[in-house]
């Protein structure tokens, strides 16, 4: 997988420090400004011309005051089944959530991991639902799937390259 550890903001500004430092600064700033936050982490993917592109997002929601997000993109030529791709998305989200969870705990910020997996068994992505839910919950994180998984199904979806 062509791993890109470069995070960026929605406006395209590159994050030039480790994401943990950036998020720590964000949490300090938001706390100082009195914002109540919730964080949702999700990943989505799309296959185009034999290349699977992934986008992982960290979405910050300010209670009644909008929000903002950070984005990281990756790609691979490795062929995957739909189930493998869904579980890869979940793994990418879990990796980010695990890296940042101590910061969110320190600042008492609720966090959810969103999976772009349909709860309707008529959809192919549903094949990965049980494993994804077990993985996320087993890691101790709150879990959301479609239609409640906006971080992956809306935010990350628009960022996949």
30, 62, 63 from 35: Cα distances, Å: 5, 6, 7
* pLDDT score of 5: 65
Q: How far apart are CA 4 and CA 17, in angstroms?
A: 14
- CA distances 61 to 39, 53, 66, 82, 97, Å, are 6, 25, 6, 30, 16
Q: Which residues of the chain have pLDDT under 50?
A: none
What pLDDT score does 136 carry? 92
C-alpha 151/C-alpha 72 separation (Å) is: 13
Structure confidence at residue 1 (pLDDT): 54
From residue 72, how far is each of 15, 29, 69, 96, 103 by CA, in Å?
10, 22, 10, 10, 19
| pLDDT score at 4 | 58
Cβ count within 10 A of residue 54: 25
Please name the helix (run of DSSP H) or strand (run of DSSP E) that holds residue 29, with its range, or none: helix 19-32
pLDDT at 126: 77
């Amino acid at each position: 997988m062509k791993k890109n550890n470069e995070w960026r903001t929605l406006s395209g500004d590159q994050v030039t420090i480790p994401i943990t430092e950036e998020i720590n600064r964000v949490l300090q700033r938001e706390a100082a400004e009195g914002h109540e936050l919730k964080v949702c982490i999700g990943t989505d993917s799309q296959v185009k011309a034999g290349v699977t592109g992934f986008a992982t997002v960290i979405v910050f929601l300010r209670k009644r005051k909008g929000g903002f997000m950070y984005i990281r993109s990756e790609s691979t030529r490795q062929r995957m089944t739909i189930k493998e791709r869904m579980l890869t998305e979940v793994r990418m989200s879990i990796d980010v959530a695990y890296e940042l969870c101590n910061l969110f705990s320190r600042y008492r910020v609720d966090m959810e991991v969103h999976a772009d997996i349909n709860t309707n068994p008529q959809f192919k992505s549903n094949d990965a639902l049980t494993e994804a839910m077990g993985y996320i919950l087993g890691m101790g994180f709150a879990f959301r799937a479609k239609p409640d998984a906006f971080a992956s199904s809306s935010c990350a979806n628009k960022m996949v390259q």
